[in-house]
Amino acid sequence: MPRRKLAGLRVLVTGASQGIGRALGVAAAAKGMRVLAAARSQPLLDELAREVRAAGGSIETVAADVTKPEDRQAMVDAAARHYGGLDVLVNNAGIGATGHFMDSDPQVLRTIFETNFFGLAETTRAFLPLLRAGVTPAIVNISSVVGKRALPARSLYSASKFAVAGFSEAIRAELAKDGIRVIVVSPGLTQTNFSQNMLEAKAKIQLDHLRGMTSEEVAAETLRAIEKGKTEVTLTLQGKMLLLVNRFFPWFVDWKAKKTVRGLFADEIAERKAKRAAAGS
């Protein structure tokens, strides 16, 4: 596909108040795109708008929660009111949790899916009429490397991102007839405050020290993917290496994950074996 000219395109970014979403709003405006930034926090959106406008960019904001039907309609109405439509939808809003599945609260899984999958899917549905009438329209779903290869202590988040991957693959073919591109961007560990905003943080191993890519770098790669009309983008060296090894040696990734978990729970395993031995004697 020929390169898209980003300048002048109308783009909505969800989850735009912090992290990757905020960086996308700033970078898109710097490229000459007309930005509609959506998030739950109006004060944070106001800060973003002041920064973008001070730099000469075009931006409007709408306070919205992607899990609420009325807020999704508010985003549609804002796109129509401010820009007369939409060309690019970036589904970035997301939330996570860490910890082992058996120790998690069932409501946490449902909350994650409400935002990461159902909110994304229904926001997409709401904007399809505007996108069909858009200029070189595209849907960009911000996923994750763990939406391609799941890791222990991230089962809830991984499951939601696997759902995003499957949904994206299906609608990519369905929407081809309308000229709408579907792009999936899968960042690895990124320097954001994502871990501080998790619903639960129960993982025995914290990975924050491995977060190498910045939000600005992810935003730049995302805009490059839109510009070039790419379909799939995987980010960070660690993420690419994980998927490469998993592609050819999935058994090794499984073995390594199991070994790591067994090491972390060595005392618990030993205690369980001792109880069984005592019960059998």
Local structure of 167: helix, strand or coil? helix
In the chain, % of residues over pLDDT 90: 74
Q: Quick check: is 2 in a domain? A: no
Would you say residue 5 lies in a domain? no
**Residue at 82 is within a domain:** yes
Mean pLDDT of 78-86: 98
Q: Does residue 191 carry a pLDDT above 60?
A: no
From 83, 117, 157, 162, the catalytic residue: 157
163-185, pLDDT tens digit by residue? 999 999 999 999 999 999 999 99
pLDDT band at 210 (very low <50, low <70, confident <90, very high): very low
- In this structure, the answer to whether residues 89 and 174 fall within a common structural domain is yes
Task: Mark whether 103 and 42 lie in a shared domain.
Answer: yes
The percent of residues in the chain predicted with pLDDT above 70, rounded, is 91
**Residue 1 covered by a domain:** no
Greater model confidence, 97 or 224: 224
| 31 is a domain residue | yes
Q: 68 lies in which domain range? A: 10-248
pLDDT digits (tens, 9 = 90+) for 18-44: 999 999 999 999 999 999 999 999 999
Same domain? For 263 and 189 the reply is: no
Which of 146, 43, 151, 25 shows the shortest CA–CA distance to 92? 25
Global pTM value: 0.89
d(CA 162, CA 146) in angstroms, rounded, equals 8
Same domain, 67 and 206: yes
Pair 20, 233: CB distance under 8 Å? no
In this structure, the answer to whether residues 147 and 167 fall within a common structural domain is yes
Task: Please tell me the total count of domains within the chain.
Answer: 2
Write the pLDDT tens digit of every residue in 111-146: 999 999 999 999 999 999 999 999 999 999 999 999
205, 278: one domain: no
Inside any domain, residue 224? yes
Based on the residue annotation, tell me whether 83 is a catalytic residue of this protein. no
Q: Is residue 274 predicted with pLDDT exceeding 70?
A: yes
**132 and 214 co-located in one domain:** yes
Are 117 and 217 part of one and the same domain? Answer: yes
Can you give the pLDDT at residue 209?
Answer: 41
Residue 4 within any structural domain of the chain: no
pLDDT at 260 over 90: no
Residues 199 and 165 in one domain: yes
Q: State whether 255 and 235 are in the same domain.
A: no
108-137 CB burial, b ≥16 within 10 A, e <16 = bbebbbbbbbbbbbbbbebbbebbeebebb
Q: What is the pLDDT of residue 194?
A: 53
Do residues 128 and 177 share a domain? Answer: yes
Residues 241 and 258 in one domain: no
3: in domain = no
User: What is the SS3 assignment for 207?
Assistant: coil
